[in-house]
Structure 1
Amino acid sequence: MRNRWLILPQPDPDKAQKLAKELEFPMEITGLLLKRGVSTFEEARTFFKPSLDHLHDPFLLKDMNIAVERIEKAINNNEKILIYGDYDVDGTTSVAMMYLFINSFYKHIDYYIPDRYEEGYGISYQGIDFASSNGFSLIIALDCGIKEKDKISYAKDKNIDFIVCDHHLPDEALPEAVAILDPQRPDCSYPYKFLSGCGVGFKLIQALSTKKHIPSNDIYPYLDLVAISIAADIVPITGENRILAAFGLQQLLENPRVGLKVFLPKETREAFSINNIVFGIAPKINAAGRISHASNAVKLLITTNDIEARKIYTQINELNNERRELDANITSEAIQEIIKTGQTSTYSTIVFNRNWHKGVIGIVASRLIEEYYRPTLVFTEGKNKDLVASARSVTGFDIYKTLEQTSEYLEQFGGHMYAAGLSIKKENFLPFKEKFESVVKETIKESQRTPTIEIDEEISLSIINKRFFKLISYFAPFGPANLRPVFLARNVHFGGDYRLMGKDRSHLKIIVFQDSIKNSFEAIAFKMGHLLPKFEKYPFDMVFTLYENYWQGKTFYQLQIKDVKFYKD
């Protein structure tokens, strides 16, 4: 599938030149800074050197004073406090963090994670019944609760108070919780709106530590958990999140908690990044809830025993291997279903098999988008014989709005622009499938039917040197809204040396140059081994990113090719 290349709008060259003089940086670097809203020397200093001193006052969150007072009251009255969180990475890291913090000075505390299959997402009646029957009078809900009006009212009838720490968009009417901490509340003036659920929980910890005169240095070690939540929940790496992520990564590398150390490579870890969490740590933590029960993830994150940590990690790793096998098998079956049902050229993909595992259908939907690049729904059978699905979308297309337009066939649905979940009666599957395809066909833009690579700048390879690599590295941590810069170089040539890599020799390492072989670079081209004859024969335009790699104490500078267009294709 050919990608569409889109060169992003360029900043004012006069502003880029002015900032370049002030910073003594190349204009190509200051152009990247301007795109990130950095336009002065002081803003650049703050951007390149994030500081914990720049974290916002937690009491700017609406209801924070109320939340702190209710927790202090619970502690003074020896009430039992239950920490409640969702079964995904953001939820389990939130629960582990809050439990560890409060448990460090108060012992009448426990935690609860709902079962993905028996209880579903968010707060459950079973969880409230557990709290009631075990004498808990205060529940601190993390990464969930903002839309749980009925369940929080149910808890109130049982004399259980709720403090909600959430980051999702609320409905017009809020639940009857004692306190609701959510920067997305319309009546909340908190300066930064995009915290993860664990990030909101950390602000509560900040506020509690202030009231209890606990030094800030005693709570910063929890930032390793916050960084994992930020990476896994795909929130913007901007503003306060960028500070939390940067120092969380530092904590993770320099002094990780026992339950996280098992995830980290034993060798040098200078190149460890948000991507390592997204593709390495997060799927394993998530596997606990997808295949078994997410409470195992919390047990791992709170343990201080190396042997126990290794034992739980081994179990979770086995679950992740099982998840990967399920993912691969179901994806293969789904592709066959697409071919069988004549969906190879449709505007959407909708597949169903009653035996597919509910815990991986979201991952399979994402895999199918990689294959066919269109809005995708993967259905399986739920426990009550209704069909349940995970929906995933392509860049720029709002799948949630599409579901709204087909809601007459749905029992339940929820989510956002790019990801959603839904349930449907079995007899409504075919009419829903037909209506969904029709709505997508009518509303999707032609540009949204082709994967797009957004390019920051067109540059000459001659400007790239060690300093340029180092300056790019200072833009990290990379993630949504602060992606690793993508460059375009034209009329590039193959330098003669190459190496095919990977078990199936599908990856290619080559030498590339533009004007002179003397100024050449090593480049990695994943899944482009089959293009070697063209690389050897034709000049090409190249879209790429820059990486610093580390091996045995040495730093290696490398280009990573994302796409190529040959001059004689």
Structure 2
Amino acid sequence: MKNWIVSEINKDEAKRIQTEYGLPPILAMLLQIRGITKREEIEDFLQNDSVIASPFEIKDMKKGADRILSAIDNDELICVYGDYDADGVTSTALLYSYLETVGANAMYYIPSRETEGYGMNKGAIDILAEKGVKLIVTVDNGIAAVEEIDYANSLGIDTVITDHHQPTGKIPNAVAVIDMHQSDCPSKYKMLSGVGVAFKLVMALEGENCDVSSLLDNYSDLLCIGTVGDIVELKSENRVFVKRGLVNIQESDRAGINALIETAGIAGKKITSGNVSFTLVPRINAVGRLGFSGKSVSLLLTDDENEAMSIAKQLNEDNNERKEIEKNILMKIDEMVKANPHITNDRVLVIDGEGWHQGVIGIVAAKVKEFFGKPTVVISRDGEEAKGSGRSVEGFSLCDAVFACSDLLTHCGGHPMAAGLSLKSKNIELFRQRINEYALKQENMPFNACNIDCRLNPALISVQLVEPLAYLAPYGAGNPTPLVGLYKMTLSQITPLSQNKHLRLQFKRDNSTVSVMNFFTTQQEFPYKVGDVLDLAVTLDINEFNGQRNVSVILKEIKPSVLDTKDFLQSQRNYEDFKLGLNLTNAQITDLLPTREDFAILYVFLRKSGGYAYPIETLVHKLDYKLSIGKIRIILDAMSELSLIEVIEGINSAQIRVSEVSQKVDLNSADTVIKLRGMQ
């Protein structure tokens, strides 16, 4: 369950935008909600597809460009030193292909995630020195490579850094350090991805009067994939890169991208930021996660269609292997949660296992975070050493929390929503304790949120209403797909589709009927029944089929209309605080402490139902809101202690089995109830 938050709308301001710029009402309203209210902001957001600021605004850009041009003139061997994710791979392909085009003596190097890790390393520098490299140009890395660049200097190799990560300390002694996040960098826009910085370098190499539009024609496909893949905000220049790139990918003459699209099964479909993010990027990332990123660069550089198809098929297989590895780790975590449910009570979940593939633990952390609604760090142990990756909820800076434990770590880095770390395996338990101590000190620890742009009367849904939303695309970080709230909708029909893989749900309100798609949910997993009155968070799109255009309504979140999500989540937290042994307020105790009648309500329901096989949280709805979720969990714990029931709860499933009991039991004798009463 997420905390549903509806954005505040300034109706007068939205009306002004609508009138002043002649925009459709829904578009004006969404621009106002997203803080895009001034003329220059609106025009840039809706119309700009080619204006990019001068690269020379960025500190050291001229120094870096001059050193590269000198290397080209003198036929020095230049190495583009990249990274193994989609941003690093596209950065490498973009800069290397440009250097090749202008006749540079160039090569590229991608470190292995498994054996070398992120960024520059001395072993790689030795290899490059043996090959005769005289200039290294980093892309999507380098800002933290202080020792490595000193080592390269000692071997007579110059370095130009291009990076977009935050400096964490001393700036490396490179010929040029091109990173907008340096405190003395005057560039106005600083949210570029690594491939965006690489493109700015290419602009600088072309000179003050470069033809930006032609460069975008050549490279916006790579810019789009890297920018979307790195989840940077899709505003300003990033929005230009992705806008142009989506068109370029759709009409691509790059053999590798066409092969990737075909093997991914989206040939002939409209290319959106969504299918770049969820279809193309994972395939490029998968090969890096499994240790062979060089194949991805080769795919993006080759002109040979047969070679491109061969590599694309391999990437597809790698992606399937990545999914299987990820699935297996999630199954192990599911087993851990079932065996030790107390681990999910922490404010920050820290879950570790031996030998988990380090390339996928970030994806696993994101999925666990989404299910439990809590910041999550997944750690892979390899004997005495361990590496972790974490994902957070909006409003809780995970990197700050991790940095607060830095004395336990051998490496850490990240940003508010994600972090990476390394530590000794023996310190994992202490890290779990310390990061949760940090979280408990935070006032108003946020709940995972469902941010709804606006409420909508279902009677207004039409092709004409939805069409203007296309002007807001491309969607992504900083510009999410509009999420619309449909409230007090009565469920009237449930239809399984695709052999019960998906559901089509029909809802009614007043005289309006709305058909809603609920993907990847079976009828058995869907906890609501016909007649229930529910609130829906949905996205709206236009679906074209056989010449007909209709509105496609996709379900993202669902809850009972009478349920206050904040109260629900606070009750769940009250229960967790009790299980953690924290001091409770009188209000928390009152919320949790059940009466004999409360026990009877839940026990009778379970007996009549023959147990329960839906998420525990849905019991609140099934019991007509007579009991809070915190109280329900206390009762379940007490009944389990008294052997009245057996509860098995994992990541995405729950099972309550009712035991056969031959004699009466004293409910107040349960340890949980005794402990809770003792806190009064």
Shorter-chain TM range is over 0.9
CA distance in 1, matches of 2:39, 2:436: 51
State the Cα distance separating 1:526 from its structure 2 match: 2.8
- Alignment-mate amino acid for residue 133 of structure 1: E
CA distance in 2, matches of 1:547, 1:282: 23
The corresponding residue for 2:515 is 522
The CA deviation string for residues 360-393 of structure 1, in whole angstroms up to 9 with x for no partner, is 22222222212322222222234x7312222222
| Kept after mapping to 2: 8 A contact 1:209/1:216 | no
Structure 1 stretch displaced more, 408-417 or 248-257: 408-417
| Kept after mapping to 1: 8 A contact 2:160/2:177 | yes
CA distance in 2, matches of 1:155, 1:374: 42
The corresponding residue for 1:112 is 109
The corresponding residue for 2:280 is 281
| Kept after mapping to 1: 8 A contact 2:287/2:315 | yes
| Kept after mapping to 2: 8 A contact 1:206/1:219 | no
1:68 is matched with which residue: 42, 65, 68? 65
CA distance in 2, matches of 1:231, 1:17: 32
Structure 1 stretch displaced more, 159-168 or 343-352: 343-352
Structure 1 stretch displaced more, 528-537 or 538-547: 528-537
SS at match of 1:262: helix
2:496 is matched with which residue: 486, 496, 500? 500
2:552 is matched with which residue: 538, 552, 558? 558
| Kept after mapping to 2: 8 A contact 1:19/1:41 | no
CA distance in 2, matches of 1:338, 1:511: 35
| Kept after mapping to 2: 8 A contact 1:22/1:41 | no
What's the C-alpha RMSD, in Å, of the aligned pairs? 2.4
CA distance in 2, matches of 1:416, 1:198: 18
CA distance in 2, matches of 1:285, 1:474: 28
State the Cα distance separating 1:515 from its structure 2 match: 3.1
SS at match of 1:489: strand
State the Cα distance separating 1:212 from its structure 2 match: 9.2
2:139 is matched with which residue: 132, 142, 145? 142
- Alignment-mate amino acid for residue 566 of structure 1: P
**1:242 matched to 2:239:** yes
The CA deviation string for residues 215-239 of structure 1, in whole angstroms up to 9 with x for no partner, is 7425522110110111110000011
| Kept after mapping to 2: 8 A contact 1:271/1:550 | no
| Kept after mapping to 2: 8 A contact 1:90/1:229 | yes
CA distance in 2, matches of 1:135, 1:532: 62
- Describe how 1:72-111 pairs up with structure 2 within 5 A: 72-111=69-108
| Kept after mapping to 2: 8 A contact 1:338/1:351 | no
SS at match of 1:264: helix
- Alignment-mate amino acid for residue 78 of structure 2: I
| Kept after mapping to 2: 8 A contact 1:82/1:109 | yes
| Kept after mapping to 2: 8 A contact 1:87/1:294 | yes
Structure 1 stretch displaced more, 538-547 or 297-306: 538-547
| Kept after mapping to 1: 8 A contact 2:60/2:177 | yes
Alignment CA distance shift 1:431-1:563 (3 Å)? closer
- Alignment-mate amino acid for residue 83 of structure 2: D
| Kept after mapping to 2: 8 A contact 1:50/1:246 | no
| Kept after mapping to 2: 8 A contact 1:143/1:167 | yes
| Kept after mapping to 1: 8 A contact 2:287/2:295 | yes
Alignment CA distance shift 1:117-1:459 (3 Å)? same
Larger Rg: 2
CA distance in 2, matches of 1:119, 1:452: 37
CA distance in 1, matches of 2:450, 2:147: 44
Structure 1 stretch displaced more, 218-227 or 260-269: 260-269
Give the unaligned 5+ runs of structure 2: 563-620, 622-680
- Describe how 1:153-552 pairs up with structure 2 within 5 A: 153-210=150-207, 216-265=213-262, 269=268, 271-341=270-340, 342-382=342-382, 385-443=384-442, 445-446=444-445, 448=446, 450-494=447-491, 496=493, 498-503=494-499, 505-517=500-512, 520-527=513-520, 529-530=523-524, 534=528, 536-551=530-545
| Kept after mapping to 2: 8 A contact 1:493/1:535 | no
State the Cα distance separating 1:15 from its structure 2 match: 1.9
- How many residues are matched? 559
The CA deviation string for residues 477-500 of structure 1, in whole angstroms up to 9 with x for no partner, is 00111111112222324465x531
The CA deviation string for residues 257-308 of structure 1, in whole angstroms up to 9 with x for no partner, is 1111122257675542111122111111111111131111111111111100
| Kept after mapping to 2: 8 A contact 1:268/1:553 | no
SS at match of 1:474: helix
- Alignment-mate amino acid for residue 438 of structure 1: E
Q: Percent identity?
A: 31
- Alignment-mate amino acid for residue 460 of structure 2: I
State the Cα distance separating 1:73 from its structure 2 match: 0.7
The CA deviation string for residues 158-216 of structure 1, in whole angstroms up to 9 with x for no partner, is 11111111111113532111112222222122121101000000111112223696774
Alignment CA distance shift 1:554-1:257 (3 Å)? farther
Alignment CA distance shift 1:219-1:49 (3 Å)? closer
State the Cα distance separating 1:327 from its structure 2 match: 0.4
Alignment CA distance shift 1:109-1:211 (3 Å)? farther
CA distance in 2, matches of 1:531, 1:491: 22
The CA deviation string for residues 385-428 of structure 1, in whole angstroms up to 9 with x for no partner, is 31222222222212222222222322222222222222222332
- Alignment-mate amino acid for residue 475 of structure 1: L
Structure 1 stretch displaced more, 337-346 or 469-478: 337-346
CA distance in 2, matches of 1:39, 1:437: 40
State the Cα distance separating 1:142 from its structure 2 match: 0.2
State the Cα distance separating 1:347 from its structure 2 match: 2.5
The corresponding residue for 2:2 is 3
The CA deviation string for residues 87-111 of structure 1, in whole angstroms up to 9 with x for no partner, is 1111011001111111012141100
Alignment CA distance shift 1:324-1:268 (3 Å)? closer
CA distance in 2, matches of 1:515, 1:470: 25
CA distance in 1, matches of 2:40, 2:172: 42
- Alignment-mate amino acid for residue 519 of structure 2: F
Alignment CA distance shift 1:256-1:231 (3 Å)? farther
State the Cα distance separating 1:461 from its structure 2 match: 2.3
CA distance in 2, matches of 1:310, 1:225: 18
The corresponding residue for 2:617 is none
CA distance in 2, matches of 1:76, 1:14: 60
Give the unaligned 5+ runs of structure 1: none
CA distance in 2, matches of 1:127, 1:146: 17
TM-score (norm 2): 0.78
TM-score (norm 1): 0.92
Alignment CA distance shift 1:432-1:216 (3 Å)? closer
- Alignment-mate amino acid for residue 285 of structure 2: N
